[in-house]
């Protein structure tokens, strides 16, 4: 796994910069500024991505899900899954997983006083090691439904890394009644070319996928209404607001097993 190297732009820290966080270095800010130049709406998309995650997590909690597995969790920022679901399910168990050492260290500090929330460092590509981790098995009962959160992370994996197989392996391991929440970058034009080239020099790439390729992540799941839509179109609430320019660059959806 990559260890901390502040001179290589890092996808988690670039995302932190878009969200106005302070956990980023000069190389991250420089790469992020290149993205912002071509796609100035990126911070708006990042905020709407968080809002979608929060609406979907609340929906799952209200549907009776009591355990959550959030993979590619990112640097801690306000309104993480455990903060969103606890008011609805006080004993909810939340497992955060990220392969980034900085994310894992921050996350451990954040959840040090919370027995029902843990942070594990794993690579999603190795679902076998993740699912076999005794810490995960202690926290999550695989015989009961799980809310699997894959927000803005599957596009970090190229097709050659087979994210479809990883999602399918997780689906097969989870109990009926489990749900998957996905958001993912899409689009194919100049903005895409720029982002592919900037992220090509970062610690992970950035793979834009078509609507059909995104629907394929939901194979074996039943896509809930309103289907695969823009971030501001998934069950919006009065406070959701609209994205405006760039809204079509992200799609999201929730599937049930």
Please identify, using beta-carbon distances, which residue of 78 and 91 lies nearer to ligand SAM.
78
> Least distance (Å) from ligand SAM to the CB of residue 110?
14
Give the footprint of ligand SAM on this chain (CB under 6 A). Answer: 11-12, 15, 49-50, 53, 71-74, 98-100, 103, 123-125, 151-153, 156-157, 204
Please identify, using beta-carbon distances, which residue of 64 and 162 lies nearer to ligand SAM.
162
The CB-nearest residue to ligand SAM is 74
Please identify, using beta-carbon distances, which residue of 144 and 161 lies nearer to ligand SAM.
161
> Least distance (Å) from ligand SAM to the CB of residue 81?
9
CB proximity list for 233: less than 8 A, separation 6 or greater: 226
> Least distance (Å) from ligand SAM to the CB of residue 56?
11
State how far the Cα of 165 lies from the Cα of 229, in Å rounded to an integer: 23
Please identify, using beta-carbon distances, which residue of 65 and 156 lies nearer to ligand SAM.
156
Q: SS in 3 state form for 189-250? A: CHHHHHHHHHHCCCCCCCCCCCHHHHHHHHCCCEECCCCCECHHHCCCCCCCCCCCCCHHHE
> Least distance (Å) from ligand SAM to the CB of residue 72?
3
Please identify, using beta-carbon distances, which residue of 123 and 232 lies nearer to ligand SAM.
123
- Burial label for 215, CB within 10 Å (0-12, 13-18, 19+), is middle
> Least distance (Å) from ligand SAM to the CB of residue 76?
10
> Least distance (Å) from ligand SAM to the CB of residue 186?
15
For residue 226, say if its preceding peptide bond is cis, omega within 30 degrees of 0: yes
Q: Collapsing DSSP states into helix, strand and coil, what is residue 160?
A: helix
Beta bridge partners of 94: 68, 117
Q: In angstroms, how far is CA 229 from the centroid of its own chain?
A: 16
Please identify, using beta-carbon distances, which residue of 151 and 254 lies nearer to ligand SAM.
151
Rounded (10°) CA dihedral 89, 218, 163, 230: -80
């Amino acid at each position: 796994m990559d260890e901390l190297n502040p001179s290589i732009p890092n996808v988690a820290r670039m995302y932190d910069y878009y969200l106005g966080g302070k956990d980023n270095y000069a190389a991250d800010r420089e790469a992020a500024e290149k993205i912002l130049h071509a796609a100035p709406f990126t911070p708006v998309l990042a905020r709407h991505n968080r809002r979608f995650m929060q609406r979907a997590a609340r929906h799952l909690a209200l549907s009776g899900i009591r355990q959550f597995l959030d993979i590619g969790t990112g640097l801690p920022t306000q309104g993480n899954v455990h903060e969103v679901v606890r008011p609805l399910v006080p004993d909810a168990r939340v497992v955060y997983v990220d392969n980034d050492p900085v994310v894992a260290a921050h996350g451990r500090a954040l959840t040090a006083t919370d027995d029902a929330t843990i942070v594990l460092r794993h690579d999603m590509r190795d679902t076998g090691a993740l699912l076999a981790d005794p810490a995960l098995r202690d926290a999550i009962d695989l015989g009961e439904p799980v809310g699997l959160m894959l927000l803005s992370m599957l596009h970090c994996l190229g097709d050659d890394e087979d994210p479809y197989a990883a999602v399918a392996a997780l689906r097969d391991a989870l109990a009926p009644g489990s749900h998957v929440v996905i958001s993912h970058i899409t689009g194919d034009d100049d903005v895409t070319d720029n982002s592919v080239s900037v992220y090509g020099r970062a610690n992970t790439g950035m793979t834009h996928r078509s609507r059909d390729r995104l629907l394929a992540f939901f194979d074996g799941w039943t896509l809930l209404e309103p289907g695969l839509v823009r971030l501001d179109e998934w069950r919006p609430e009065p406070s959701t607001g609209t994205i405006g320019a760039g809204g079509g660059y992200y799609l999201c959806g929730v599937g049930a097993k």
